[in-house]
């Protein structure tokens, strides 16, 4: 989006996000909710197949999880909500309708605060059951009903987003909030959260919003940003030519970097909503709501406040993508330990591309990380050695070891005993091979000090503290 085009057309964005809740069973039956690695159509019940006489039974844990999600959005929880039938006929929907909450959702108004400080309002969020999955081949399609009635929370934002960057940041912050609140597994690749992005353009002086197009099922933050940028250009060209934007559903291709038309966008009346006759209204007591609401743990903005004067904001934004890591950092911070050095270790070492897989393993404990930082502070470990011990702490075979034990095993602990170091320095200075370097240093060529330090490190088999060696050499060569 160029500045010129931004002045010509104003972009308005609203986002609907489908969050798969991490309950053990489905929304309306006692079937396994985790179908990862399972055979197609193996996690399905008669309720999911919509066999005659099979009635839905609401999963109470899904209701509790939804309340926790509402707390993560600082949203109002409605004491009374109810389910409705949304009629549509797809091959992956055996019932011929979806059980959702159209008229009375469980979650009311809330908000998500972006890292920039901008507030994006949440209109509402409602519970619903997911559809199945179609796999398309050349001449036929296969249906897998494992995903039918997976509990979803659909979160609907207000049209407060006004750029591709804000769309990306909103989706990422919403994803973080749901992960921190333990609402979802948050695996974007496997569709645990999917984003539908509604985009419209209008001239700044126009009062009415433009016709919107909806980009369906985006599941990466980069794709969201790219899709908005492309759609801005596409709609701008249509408006520039004097034509009208068509209200429709469009798909996004990462490969082509383009959106393509899928179908005309239905309105609410096209779905023929009606109250769900097989589920009574959901009436929640205030004490029940308050108890579940209070279970929401610390959220990203809480950690931003905690670490504001301790960890640089750009480093913290990297670390906030890893909730368990941030929890460990918070434990260290509460104990008034060297949090700055440890956070830098994570950012510079662990988050390097070749080390990211370590985050799938168990994190070092706050006690291990604190001891490592203290050893570095006391110069018992060099920077390089400390990083080596840090990475080793993630390996399962080292999980129970202290950094000191591990450093001893790896022969990495630096020699700081002044007397022992002076003896090694004296031996190096007595070596005729170093006489020329000593004379050059005394003549003002300070860079040769590095050569002499290297000789001492060699004699100590790498265990001498280079800083201490350098100081001893300077004193002896005066």
Residues 400 and 355 in one domain: yes
Residues 388 and 275 in one domain: no
Residue 438 neighbours by CB under 8 Å, 6+ apart: 429, 452, 477
Tokens of 287: 């004490």
H or E segment and range at residue 121: strand 119-129
Tens-level pLDDT at each residue, the chain (478 residues): 444 444 689 999 999 999 999 999 999 999 999 988 899 999 999 999 889 999 999 999 999 999 999 999 999 999 999 999 999 888 898 999 999 999 999 999 999 999 999 999 999 999 999 999 999 999 999 999 999 999 999 999 999 999 999 999 999 999 999 999 999 999 998 889 999 999 999 999 998 999 999 999 999 999 999 999 999 999 999 999 999 999 999 999 999 999 999 887 656 568 899 999 999 999 999 999 999 999 999 999 999 999 998 899 999 999 999 999 999 999 888 766 678 889 988 888 777 766 777 776 678 998 999 999 989 888 888 888 899 999 899 888 888 899 999 998 888 887 665 666 777 777 778 888 888 888 777 878 878 788 887 887 787 766 777 777 777 788 878 7
Task: Report how many domains make up the chain.
Answer: 3
Residues 22 and 132 in one domain: yes
Residues 248 and 191 in one domain: yes
Q: Say which CATH number the domain at 459 has.
A: 1.10.10.410
Instruction: Print the domain residue range for 364.
Output: 298-409
Pairing of strands 213-218, 193-202: antiparallel
Pick from 32, 62, 224, 69: nearest CA to 145: 32
Strand partners of residue 141: 136
For the packed helices 323-334 and 300-307, what is the interaxial angle rounded to 10 degrees?
40
Residues 192 and 308 in one domain: no
Residue 393 neighbours by CB under 8 Å, 6+ apart: 364, 368, 369, 372, 399, 401, 403, 406
Residues 344 and 276 in one domain: no
Residues 146 and 277 in one domain: yes
How far apart, in whole angstroms, are the C-alpha atoms of residue 391 and residue 381?
Answer: 14
How far apart, in whole angstroms, are the C-alpha atoms of residue 22 and residue 231?
Answer: 33
Residues 383 and 445 in one domain: no
Residues 270 and 391 in one domain: no
Residues 339 and 387 in one domain: yes
């Amino acid at each position: 989006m160029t500045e010129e085009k931004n002045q010509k057309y104003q972009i308005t964005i609203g986002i609907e996000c489908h969050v798969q809740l991490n309950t053990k069973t489905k929304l309306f039956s006692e079937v396994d909710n985790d179908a990862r690695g399972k055979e197609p159509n193996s996690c399905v019940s008669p309720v999911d197949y919509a066999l005659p006489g099979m009635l839905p039974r609401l999963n109470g844990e899904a209701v509790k999880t939804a309340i926790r999600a509402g707390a993560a959005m600082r949203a109002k929880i409605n004491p009374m909500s109810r389910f409705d039938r949304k009629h549509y006929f797809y091959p992956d929907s055996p019932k011929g309708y979806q059980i959702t909450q159209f008229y009375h959702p469980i979650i009311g108004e809330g908000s998500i605060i972006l890292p920039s400080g901008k507030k994006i309002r949440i209109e509402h969020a409602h519970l619903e059951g997911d559809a199945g999955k179609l796999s398309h081949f050349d001449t036929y399609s296969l249906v897998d009903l494992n995903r039918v009635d997976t509990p979803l929370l659909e979160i609907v934002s207000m049209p407060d987003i006004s750029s591709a960057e804000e769309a990306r940041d909103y989706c990422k912050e919403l994803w973080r909030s749901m992960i921190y609140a333990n609402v979802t597994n948050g695996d974007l690749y496997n569709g645990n959260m999917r984003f539908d992005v509604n985009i419209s353009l209008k001239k700044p002086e126009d009062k009415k919003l433009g016709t919107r197009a909806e980009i369906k099922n985006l599941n990466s933050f980069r794709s969201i940003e790219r899709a908005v940028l492309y759609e801005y250009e596409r709609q701008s060209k249509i408006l520039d030519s004097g034509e009208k934007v068509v209200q429709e559903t469009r798909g996004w291709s990462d490969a082509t970097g383009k959106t393509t038309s899928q179908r005309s966008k239905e309105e609410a009346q096209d779905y023929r909503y009606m109250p769900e006759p097989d589920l009574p209204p959901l009436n929640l007591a205030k004490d029940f709501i308050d108890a579940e609401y209070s279970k929401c743990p610390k959220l990203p903005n809480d950690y931003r406040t905690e670490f504001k004067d301790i960890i640089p904001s750009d480093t913290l934004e990297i670390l906030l993508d890893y909730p368990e890591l941030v929890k460990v950092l918070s434990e260290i911070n509460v104990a008034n330990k060297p949090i700055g050095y440890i956070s830098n270790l994570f950012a510079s070492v662990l988050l390097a591309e070749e080390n990211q897989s370590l985050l799938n393993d168990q994190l070092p404990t706050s006690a291990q990380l604190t001891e490592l930082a203290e050893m570095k502070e006391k110069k018992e470990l060099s920077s390089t050695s400390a990083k080596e011990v840090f990475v080793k702490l993630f390996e399962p075979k080292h999980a129970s070891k202290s950094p000191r034990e591990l450093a001893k095993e790896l022969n990495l602990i630096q020699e700081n005993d002044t007397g022992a170091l002076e003896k090694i320095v004296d031996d190096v200075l007595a070596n005729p091979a170093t006489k020329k370097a000593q004379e050059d240093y005394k003549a003002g060529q300070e860079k040769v000090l590095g050569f002499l330090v290297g000789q001492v490190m060699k004699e100590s088999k790498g265990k001498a503290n280079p800083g201490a060696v350098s100081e001893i050499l300077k004193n002896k060569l005066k």
